[in-house]
Structure 1
Amino acid sequence: MASVRTFTPERLFRVFALLETITWTLLILGMILKYAVGVGDWPVSIAGFIHGLIFIAYALQAGVVAVNQRWRLGLATLAVASAVVPYATIPMERWLARRSNLEGGWRTESTSDPRDARPLDRAFRWAINRPLPLAGALIVALAVIMTTLLMVGPPGGKA
């Protein structure tokens, strides 16, 4: 089994970009089944829930990768926003890779870079050196966000 450390920022981003694309396909198929075939709401309900989970997970991992790679806020926002457009996460991942924005490993140790002394960087190193608690915290964040969105309901209210 591969070590957590071999799961690079680039690989993490690539996996979630692919998952986001797959869930877009599921959602679109669900809409086709609902509106063109007339099988009811259940395909969109199931695919929409899965897509929502992966969308939020994609945004969370993009944030982690953005901090690790020291992306500017605009680039991080663009990476997250690419998930709003169907199938845009794959071209986004390839564009980031071509521009070397995904190169390198996890920043687990302090360097002579003055940014490493910033509180955010110290906290990030602390978290990234504890991958299981970090993953747990991200899963809790995912659950809280998803639960909140389910309680609020769909945009425009329920039909």
Structure 2
Amino acid sequence: MTPLKIYRTTAIIEAVTWGLLILGMVLKYTGVTESGVSAAGPVHGLAFLAFVVVTILVWMNNRWSAGQGLLGLFSAVIPFATVPFEQAVARRGGLDGGWRTDVGADAPVRDRILAVLVGRPYASAGVLAVAVLVVFGTLLVVGPPFG
């Protein structure tokens, strides 16, 4: 899966889960039901964390500037902003190319780490998924961000 395809997919999933969470909040605060937030909240939290991980990987791989990378991370905080951000970055060529797996021994450590991660996509996806789930589980134990 190319950086463009995985970034686009996670941006869309993150935006859709924002919509589900907002719908759940509308249902909760209009007195209809609280189950929408109970269901959509964790799903959105997981999508948010996945988007953050993918943003960091693509940021490193495609050598985005610090400003562009931080803006990518910030786009997940604003409802539905991940999709327009992804589209803007794609238009400017920021998602072009494949994963950089061929780096020399003299490459910076971050490039060598990235090459290992993207060179073994299934193992890396498993490790990153476990890491996201551990963070997700910890956050579930801690509780919701605003009471």
1:95 aligns with 2:88: yes
Alpha-carbon shift at residue 25 of structure 1 (Å)? 1.0
Q: How does the TM-score come out when normalised to structure 2?
A: 0.93
Q: Structure 2: which amino acid aligns with 1:110?
A: V
Report the Cα distance in structure 2 between the residues aligned to 1:153 and 1:54, rounded to whole angstroms: 17
Whole-Å separation in 2 of the counterparts to 1:60 and 1:110: 21
Structure 2: unaligned runs, 5 residues or longer: none
RMSD, matched Cα: 1.6
- Point out 4+ residue stretches in structure 1 off by more than 3 angstroms: none
**Which whole-Å CA distance do the structure 1 matches of 2:110 and 2:26 have between them?**
45
Q: Distance in 2 between matches of 1:99 and 1:105?
A: 16
- Give how far 1:156 is off: 3.6
- Picking from 9, 16, 21, the partner of 1:15 is 9
Q: 1:45 Cα shift? A: 1.0
2:23 is aligned to 29
Identity %: 48
Quote the Cα distance in structure 2 between the aligned partners of 1:134 and 1:122. 14
Q: How many residues align?
A: 147
Distance 2:76 2:95 in 1: 17
> Within 5 Å, which residues of 2 pair with 1:8-157?
8-36=2-30, 38-110=31-103, 117-157=107-147
- CA separation in 2, counterparts of 1:52 and 1:27? 10
Q: Which has the larger radius of gyration?
A: 1
**Unmatched tracts of structure 1, length 5 or more:** 1-6
Deviation at 1:40, TM superposition (A): 2.7
Q: Distance in 1 between matches of 2:117 and 2:7?
A: 18
Does the residue aligned with 1:144 lie in a helix, a strand or coil? helix
